[in-house]
Amino acid sequence: MSRIFDHEKLEVYRAALAFLDWLEPVLQQLPKSLSVVDQLDRASTSIPLNIAEGNGKFTGADRCRFFDTARGSALEAAAALDVLVAKKRCAQEEVAAGKDRLWSIVSMLVGLIRSNSDYRLHEGNLE
């Protein structure tokens, strides 16, 4: 019997792993001496790790903190892809699919943050 952790059921977690799968061949073609390669690898790895850790927290505030860290890592990864284009190490067309994946991940994380935040504005609270 295969056991599944709760975070493995999250679409955003699966999307973060799919981004890593997409990214790996890109990283393999780049020189390891480029600092942005290491930064991109660490930022992209941080996304699913923080999603998993955050999903295991008991309070909404704790979950939000980790989901926000994952969101920041996704934004950092998107910026790192831009740096690769600016440094002429990748073409814009090469990174477009990765940035689309990151856009989706960020959107899902914002939704998780909003749904776990006690401070969000609820429609019933509008006057």
Q: How far apart are CA 25 and CA 30, in angstroms?
A: 9
CA–CA separation, 100 vs 106, rounded Å?
10
Confidence bin at 125 (pLDDT 50/70/90): very low
> pLDDT tens digits for 51-64?
999 999 999 999 99
Domain membership of residue 56 (yes or no) is yes
CA separation, residue 9 to residues 77, 90, 113 (Å)? 23, 33, 17
Is 127 domain-assigned? no
Q: Contact at 8 Å (CB) between 68 and 106? A: no
Q: How many domains does the chain have?
A: 1
Contact, 30 vs 91, CB < 8 A? no
Q: Given this model, what pLDDT does residue 122 score?
A: 47
Tokens 């309070």 found at? 59
- Give the tokens for residue 126: 């509008």
The CATH number of the domain holding residue 94 is: 1.20.1440.60
